[in-house]
Each structure stands twice: as structure tokens, then as C-alpha cells.
Chains A and B, each alone.
Chain A
Amino acid sequence: MKSKAVEIVNFTKKFGDFTAVDNLNLEIYENEVFGLLGPNGSGKTTTLLTIATVYKPTSGDIYVFGHSVTREDYVVRKLVGIAFQEPKAMWIDKPYDLLTWHARIVGYSMSDAKKIVREVMELLGLWEHRNKQFYQLSGGTRKKVELAKVLIQKPRVAILDEPTAQVDVLSKHALWDVIKKLRDEGTTVIIATNDMFEAERVCEKIAIIYKGKLRAMGTISELKDSIPRGDVIEIQYEGSRIPEKLFASLEEYGRIETQSSTLRIYVEKGEEKVLDVIDLFRKNNVKILRIMVKEPTLDDVFTYITGAKLREES
């Protein structure tokens, strides 16, 4: 049995009258890469900052390896490292100075600090930017400086708030590998994101939160299986239209959408139905050019669960 790295119990956070997070319950196990998925304003950052003891719960509590963020915040801070959504630096600051100071604060000796800072900066492609001032850096580079803090710290629980937002696509893939490596070295990683591709690529488990509430939780395939009519059978056929009779029989399997000579059927357990569908086409003498069963995307899952689009507010 893996132990619980983070346990969120009846956590509510209000700002004045506004409830940013509403009675959240979550368990995150040691050595997982756990994703908090939701559009902007869902309460992801609020939750992460409370785990990091920067905010205090309005009610409920959060435990990091059994230590309460409200009663043992100092102990929690020694277990947690965070890369903020908004890079934390003044315009005049230089990455090398900030990271060296960070390394010293988290416990490295001066010589070890210099070593690890250089190592991490080179890994992230930051070394050439080390003595530039923050206002000269691109958004993506600033985000990498934020991530570098956590990589230097090697905390037991790493919190990454939208780590690859503003990062170019090529670097994104590299960062995802870096994040996985951090996990492989024993860190539990919690990532907030509104990028479903990122969630699919790096997260083993995902919690979908929307408007401050938990809507669903599970592994990616559990989430995808949880929605009825989750699969899509996509068929490209010869000719421009299909006979009425075939269409009617296909409709018994699920909702149909057509687009020129492509037909999509939304079904449950697509891999079981696909043979029947091929049979029906053959009986009706319509030639299939291409057929595939597609899984729903996390976007589909999100839309099904919340009735909203993941990207609508981002």
C-alpha cells in the first residue's frame, strides 16, 4: 500500500463572501503524478496555495504526510515545494541570483548551491539567460525559472501550477519528461492545468474541478469509461450517401453524426460494436474505406461532466 502524500478533508476556502473552493475531498498517494484539471477560476491555485501553507483554509484541513497545514505549517513547508502560476520575481531580478538564494534557503551549502543551480539551469536551457533581468525574459523562460526552484529543492511533494503555460510546444515535451523524472526520483507531483493534452501526457490520476467543486476523480481511462456512449466509431465509406435502411439500423447503436462521406456513431464499448457495424455495411453493399474506434478525449469527459468546455474561460 502506498501512503497518502496529501489528504484534503472537507476543504473550503472563501474570499469574503465568495467561495473559491467548496468542500473539497481528495487523496493523493505517494509517488503519483496527480492532475487538477479545470478551466480558469475553478479553484486550482487556491487549493495548491493552501497545500503550500500560503493560504489558510476557511474550514476543513489538508494533511501532507499526515501533517496539518493549519497546525504544523512549518513541518509541511519542509515537505512541499511549489512553482507558482505567476513567476515570482521583480522586473529587475536575475534568474541566477534568485535560484542561488533559493538553493541556499532550502538548505544547500554555497558550493553545492552553485553546482545544483547550474545543473538545473542547464537542464532547462536557462543557463544562457542566467544574468538577464526578468523583464528581458519571455513568458516561457520565466515559467522555467519557477520550475527550476522545485527541481533544485527536490521536495517530497512538488506542486506545479500550470507549469508549461506560455512555454513553446517543443519545450513542453521536454518539461513533461523532466516532471516525470522528478517523480521517478521519488517526488509526488501535483499539477494544476487546463491543458487536457498535458493532463493526458503526464498525469496518472486526475481530479476534475469546476467552480470550486470536485466533479470527478480517477485515472484517465477510468474517467473516459465513466461517460456513457464514450467511444466514437468513425467510418469513411465509398459514395456520397448511405441507404436509409442502413442508417436506421446504425441509429440503434447510438447517436450519429455525418459529414460528407464520414460517419460517426457515439457508442458505449466501441470495440465490441465495431464488428456489427462492419457487418451492416457489408449487407447493405456500402464499401468501407476506413474505420476506427476512437476514445473520447478528456475534453469530451469534461464537457460531459460539467456541461462546459474546458477552454471556454481560458
Chain B
Amino acid sequence: MKNPDLRNNLKIILLVASWDLMKLKNQKVFLAMRIAWFTLQVLVFARAISYIVSQGILAYTGGVDYYYFYLLGIYTSLLYSTSISRGYVVADEFDDGIVEYHLSLPIKRSLFAVGRVLGCSLSTIIFTLPMMAVVYAILKVSNFLSILLSLIFALLFSIGIVGFVLLLVFAVRSADLTDILVGAIDALLVRLSTVFYPLPVIEATGIAPYYVAALMNPISHLSDFLRVLVFPEYYLVLRQGIVPTIVYMVAFSMGFLVIAIEYYERKLEAGGWK
């Protein structure tokens, strides 16, 4: 690809992505409610839970206070559910026929697909920025590099989840059915992750499928990655080190992005979806 081409394609992708960012503007009230709810959750309920959990947990968290451990878990699960609801916007647009408008626009459909995935994930990051600020303020994180890396990996995570949701949307072509499927996966995925319990604790349960699910789970990988960034001592909890997690996150996001684009193109190119 020649350079002007690349620059032009990038411009188109960003323009397409701005569709989702534009929609964000109209959701200020919703956002305010979510921030309030999240703040209440981390300040009241999360604290309550961490009192209940015994001091013994420190052995499993590399010495990280359970409250802090949990905060990064619930930020991750927030990212997860926001990514999914952003992906739903695309499903709703399918049901409302707005997809027909998008398909008529003078752009390549592959670029359109990339733009939409990026738009959904960027708006997820923007939407959850205030919550991230709450968490990082409580954790007193001020290191610029940690924050930057957190954001980059949060974006990668979100791209993977959005790609996955879009794949479901294109495959079932109905927001209602997607709702049910994602609802089922949603209920399981957060619970089968390290949001609430560190991996060694899950391993100690002796339930192999639970352990394997948590090990393979993107939610586990992002929460653990963020924990290591903020509390280097948490590194000890990760038996394989941080590299597999980084590889996993990149592969997860790029994998679903590519599959979603491929699927979108194949399904929708020249109106093949109808």
C-alpha cells in the first residue's frame, strides 16, 4: 500500500469511527448515572466485600490489598459490559435499517467495518474514562506510562469484545437474539474470570473447567495486566509472567477485528446479506 493510500484509508476509518463518538454526545445523562453508580459501587460495596474477605487472601494476591485487587477487576468488567453495549448499538442500527444507509456510502466496506469496531471501542474508552479516573485516584496511580499502557490495553480489549459482538450481530442479524446470546455469555464470562478471585484461588477450588475458563478469559487477562501495571508485586501471581498476557491481548483484539471485517465484507459486500 502506498503512503497516500494508507493516510487516506486511515482518515476514512477515523471518520467512520466518529459516527459512534458523535452518538456519545447525546448520552450525557446516561453517562452521569453510570458514573454515580460506579462510584457508589467502588466506595461502598467493594469496601464491604473486602472486609469480608479474610486477610489470608494476601498470599494469593502477591500482597496486594483485596480492595485494590477488586477495583481493577470491576473496572475491567465495566469495560467489558460497555464494549458490549456499544456493539449493541450496531445491532440496533441493523434492526432499524440504518445499515442500509451505511452500505450506500461511498467507502470500501472493509474500511467501514474497521471504522465501526474502532468507533465502538474508542467510545467505550471515552465513556469509561471517568470511572477509570475514580479507580486510579483511589489507587493513587500517577505514573504516566502506566496510565498510557492501561489505556492502550483497555482499547485492545474493547476492540476484541466489540469485534466479537459484531460477529454475533452479523451472524444472527437480530438485536433480540444477540441480546439473549450475549446475555448468557455475559453472565458466565465475568464470573469465570479473575475479576473477583485471583487465579491461584480459582485453581485451589480444584474445579478444572473453572480454572481453564479463567485462564483463557480475556477479562482475566486485562484485569491481571492492569494489576501488574499498578502493583508490580502482583507479577508474582502470574505463573507464566506477563508476556503471554500481552501476546494474548494483541492476538485477541486483532483476531476478532480481522474475523469481524472478513465476515462483514463477505456477508455484506454488494448487498449479499439480503
Contact = CB atoms under 8 A, between A and B. Distances in A.
Interface of A: 15, 49-50, 52-56, 69-70, 73-74, 77-78, 80-82, 84, 86, 88-90, 92-94, 97, 101, 104-107, 133
Contacts of B205: none
B270 A77 contact: no
A97 B22 contact: yes
Give the bracket for the number of chain B residues in contact with chain A. Answer: 20 to 34
B61 to A, nearest CB: 43
B261 to A, nearest CB: 15
A53 B104 contact: yes
A193 B262 CA distance: 37
A240 to B, nearest CB: 59
B96 interface: yes
B12 to A, nearest CB: 8
Contact of B270 (A69, A90, A104): A69
User: Which of A15, A54, A74 has its CB near the most chain B CB atoms (within 10 A)?
Assistant: A54
Contacts of A133: 26
Contact of A106 (B18, B96, B106): B106
A56 B26 contact: no
Given A49-B271, A54-B104, A84-B100, 19 more contacts: A52-B103, A52-B104, A53-B271, A56-B270, A73-B269, A73-B270, A74-B109, A77-B105, A88-B97, A88-B100, A89-B98, A90-B23, A90-B92, A90-B93, A90-B98, A92-B23, A101-B22, A105-B12, A106-B106
Nearest to A45: B100
A116 B12 CA distance: 20
27 contacts: A15-B274, A49-B104, A49-B271, A50-B271, A52-B103, A53-B271, A54-B103, A54-B104, A54-B271, A54-B274, A55-B271, A69-B270, A77-B104, A80-B104, A81-B104, A84-B101, A86-B97, A89-B98, A90-B23, A90-B93, A90-B96, A93-B26, A97-B25, A101-B15, A101-B18, A107-B106, A133-B26
Contact of A105 (B25, B107, B269): B107
A56 B274 contact: yes
A53 B101 contact: no
Contact of B271 (A56, A93, A94): A56
A238 to B, nearest CB: 60
B91 to A, nearest CB: 12
Nearest to A56: B271
B90 to A, nearest CB: 11
Contacts of B274: 15, 54-56
Dominant secondary structure of chain B at its interface with chain A:
helix
A54 B274 CA distance: 9
A77 B271 CA distance: 12
Contacts of A54: 100, 103-104, 271, 274
A106 B12 CA distance: 10
Contacts of A74: 106-109
A56 B271 CA distance: 5
B35 to A, nearest CB: 19
A53 B100 contact: no
Contacts of B98: 88-90
A88 B101 contact: yes
B37 interface: no
A56 B272 contact: yes
Nearest to A86: B97
B103 A105 contact: no
A24 B19 CA distance: 36
B16 interface: yes
B100 A78 contact: no
Given A54-B271, A86-B97, A88-B97, A94 B104 contact: no
B15 A105 contact: yes
A177 B23 CA distance: 34
A50 B100 CA distance: 11
A133 B272 CA distance: 32
A88 to B, nearest CB: 4
A77 B26 contact: no
A93 B106 CA distance: 21
A53 B22 contact: no
Nearest to B111: A74
Contacts of A70: 270
Contacts of A104: 15, 18
User: Which of B12, B269, B271 has its CB near the most chain A CB atoms (within 10 A)?
Assistant: B271
